[in-house]
Structures are given as structure tokens and as C-alpha cells.
Amino acid sequence: MDLMEKIVSLCKRRGFVYPGSDIYGGLANTWDYGPLGTELKNNIRDCWWKKFVHEREDIYGIDGGILLHPKVWEASGHVANFNDTLVECKQCHHRFRLDQLESKKCPDCGGEFTEGKKFSGLFKTFIGPTEDKTSVAYLRPETAQAIFINFRNIVDSFHPKLPFGIAQIGKAFRNEITAGNFIFRDLEFEQMEIEYFISPDADWQKIFTNWQEEMKKWLLGLGVEEKKLRFREHGENERSHYSKKTVDVEYDYPFGIKELYGLAYRTDYDLRQHQAASGVDLNYLTEEGKKFIPHVIEPSFGMPRTFLVVLLESYFEEEKRVVLRLKPKLAPYKVAVFPLVANRQELIKKAREIFLSLKSELAVTFDDRGNIGKRYYSQDEIGTPWCVTVDYQTLEDDTVTVRDRDTTKQERLPVDKLLEYFQNLLRGSL
């Protein structure tokens, strides 16, 4: 089994990620996050929010709608331009996106392709009882536009000084037709995006480089090895029409070097388009009385690719175990509590007491199945950083053993110091 197969299998077996609509044979490019995957995803989300919203003074967080006025997508250019060309192999009938092909022959069987057919990446729906042109709405294909259309609101409510950013985490939907590598390419996925507004006279190159550094720091903080990352600048022809500079943050996945995140200097394109289409003044007025439409730098982070990279980077096979060396903040459970044996009531009772007292403060799990060795194995595989075992000595002196996932070393700690001990280890940023 290659690494991807191992990760996919572990994700399904241990409840991180299940194939979408599994009992109906699956729905291509959709996935459901199980209990542990949901925790991991929420932890990534919270760390991102902490780093880019709470720890900064210049970024405001919002949560805009998935359904926006259809005119938003006309103004943004998505209705006209969010298209891809689909080709199908005449022999094996596999479908590909023309822009992702390296040759004119089918990569799966060498067959010829059909003529290209344009298709929209937008998911359409209808608002109200009639399904016609006037009731069309789109599921947002990116979170960014909800930010642009709230620019005026944020300026009016908070009077921020430039440069400042607006951040958002939420679902985006894209009508992807090519098969993804596990969660790499999905029909629906979360994005974590920031629009960082700057003055048109600002040194945008410098701000752009700073954001590139911030994205790198975030990834190193998640535990990603620097040598797996590439920062690739788009060439003239590849760049979107609104962008003056785009850098793809790429990662060396088991299936090749591909995009992980994007960073783009979108100029004043979006605000200018929305001003023209809505008729609302989206100029920014400085304290000195200067008026202009701000420019914007956009770091865009995709959740599923972050999730995948975190798993790929933390998966280790050792002689006797598989261990997910997740950063403790990201781990679905921080602590697992066990009674040494499962047939001694006083041990179980004490272990349950400790479990319940920690549970109101931390994500904790309880396990009394099998022997201790099996339980350690099971927790290592899902990345639980610490295991607490209640044994006979606990009943005498109220101490327990705490076993560290990475070193496998054990130490004895008083029960009443446990919470503080774990909280100290979890304090601070990633």
C-alpha cells in the first residue's frame, strides 16, 4: 500500500473521513468527516482563526452567506469566466479538464479525445417556487466575494485604518469533474481566506512577500517540513485577468507537486467591479481626506488540502506501531484515560472520575478494552498526545502514569495536577 492508500484507509477505519454517501455507493468527490476528522478540522480552523484574527489587530473576521445576490457573481466575473473545458477519451471514456492535461493523448489509455466542451464550475440553484432565469442563484465558489461585498459595512462599523484585512472561513462549492486524490479536490470544501486591503500607493511587493512568509510560518507551525514546500509564481498567461502577481504555495504530495494554497495581488479589481455593478461608493477615505478604492492581497487557504497535508506529515510507521505525530493542539483527543485492567471496579471507578473531571476542560477519551499495549497502539494511531493510566498505586497515593505519545516515556503525576499539566503543554500558538 502506498502512503495515500494507508492514509485513506486509516481515515475510514478510525473515523476521520468517510466516502460521501457511502451506503449508496458513494458520490464522486464528496466526503463526510467522522468524529475524529471533525475534531481535527475544527482544531485547524480554530488555530487559523487564532493566528490570523485573534492574535492580530488589523484583521476582522466575518461569516458571510453561501447564497449571495446573483449579481455578485456577474460582477466578480465568475458567471462569464468560471469555466473549464472538458474532454472525454473516446476509448476509455475517462474525462479530463483540458488545462490539466500535459499531452493530447489520454493519460490512462493513450486514446484520442473528443472535442472540448465548456462547462461552468458554478453550482446553480433557484430561489423561490419558479425555476427560471430570474430565480437563479449560485452556491459560492469562493468565500472571497462575501468579504468584498461587506467591505463598506466593516469600514462603517469599525473605521479601520489601512492596511487591514477581513477574514472568513466557510464552505465553497465547485462543480469539479475530474476525480480527486482523496480530499484534494472536492465539490464542497472549506476555505479560509483573507482579503488584505492596502492603499494603491503602498509597497505591495513588500506586503505580498510578508504574506508569503506568514503562509509559510503557518505551515511550519502545523508541522510541515519546509523542503516539501514550493512557492511558484504564475507566468503571464496562467495568471487570472485581475491579478498582477500570483504565487501558488505548492506541496510535494505522494501524487506529485501540486497546489496547496494561493496568494494573489488582486489589485482593486473586485471592489471596482462591485462599485460599478451595485452603484454603491466603495471608496475609502483616509484621515487626510484622500479618497480611493483600496487594492487587495489575498492569501487563500483550503481546508481539505491542509487536513491532508497535516495527516501526510504526521503519519509515521515504526517497528511496533503507527503513530500520528500531530501537534497536540490539532489532535482530536488530547488525553486518553485508562484503568490498568478492565475487571477491577475500583480502578474503573477512579479512571471514570478522572476522565469526567478532565472532560469538561479538554477533549478526552476513555478506553477499557483489551490490554494497555493495545490501547496505546490505538491512541498512537489517532495521534492522542497523552495517555493516563489508573493503577493500583493510584488508589493508595492518588497518582497516575502519564505516557507521552512521541517519546513513549511515562511519568507519575498527582491526579490534582493533571489538568494544569496538560493545559500548560497546550498553551500558546501551534
CB of 344 to ligand ATP, least distance (A): 49
CB of 383 to ligand ATP, least distance (A): 22
Length of the chain, in residues: 430
The C-alpha cell at 197 is 486591503
Bridge partner residues of 263 (DSSP): 247, 299
- Which is closer to ligand ATP, CB of 175 or CB of 278? 175
- Which is closer to ligand ATP, CB of 27 or CB of 127? 27
Q: In whole angstroms, what is the distance from residue 340 CA to residue 201 CA?
A: 66
Place of cell 494554497: 261
The C-alpha cell at 386 is 497523552
Rounded to 10 degrees, the C-alpha dihedral 373/375/377/378 comes to: 160
* DSSP annotation string for 266-320: EETHHHHHHHHHH-----EE-TTS-EEPPEEEEEEEEHHHHHHHHHHHHEEE-SS
- Which is closer to ligand ATP, CB of 170 or CB of 328? 170
CB of 11 to ligand ATP, least distance (A): 15
CB of 127 to ligand ATP, least distance (A): 24
CB of 156 to ligand ATP, least distance (A): 28
- Which is closer to ligand ATP, CB of 300 or CB of 314? 300
Which residue lies nearest ligand ATP, judged by its C-beta? 302
Site residues, ligand ATP (CB under 6 A): 174, 176, 185-186, 189, 191, 259-262, 300, 302, 304-305
CB of 216 to ligand ATP, least distance (A): 14
CB of 210 to ligand ATP, least distance (A): 19
The C-alpha cell at 25 is 455507493
Strands across the sheet containing 188-198? 59-62, 164-173, 188-198, 295-302, 256-267, 245-253, 229-233
CB of 97 to ligand ATP, least distance (A): 8
Q: In whole angstroms, what is the distance from residue 230 CA to residue 228 CA?
A: 7
- Which is closer to ligand ATP, CB of 29 or CB of 399? 29
- Which is closer to ligand ATP, CB of 306 or CB of 389? 306
CB 390 within 8 A of CB 337: yes
Q: Give the HSE-up count for residue 234: Cα atoms under 13 Å, Cβ half-sphere.
A: 19
The helix (H) or strand (E) run that includes residue 378 is: helix 372-381
- Which is closer to ligand ATP, CB of 191 or CB of 399? 191
Number of H helices, E strands in the chain: 13, 23
- Which is closer to ligand ATP, CB of 186 or CB of 195? 186
Q: In whole angstroms, what is the distance from residue 59 CA to residue 48 CA?
A: 12
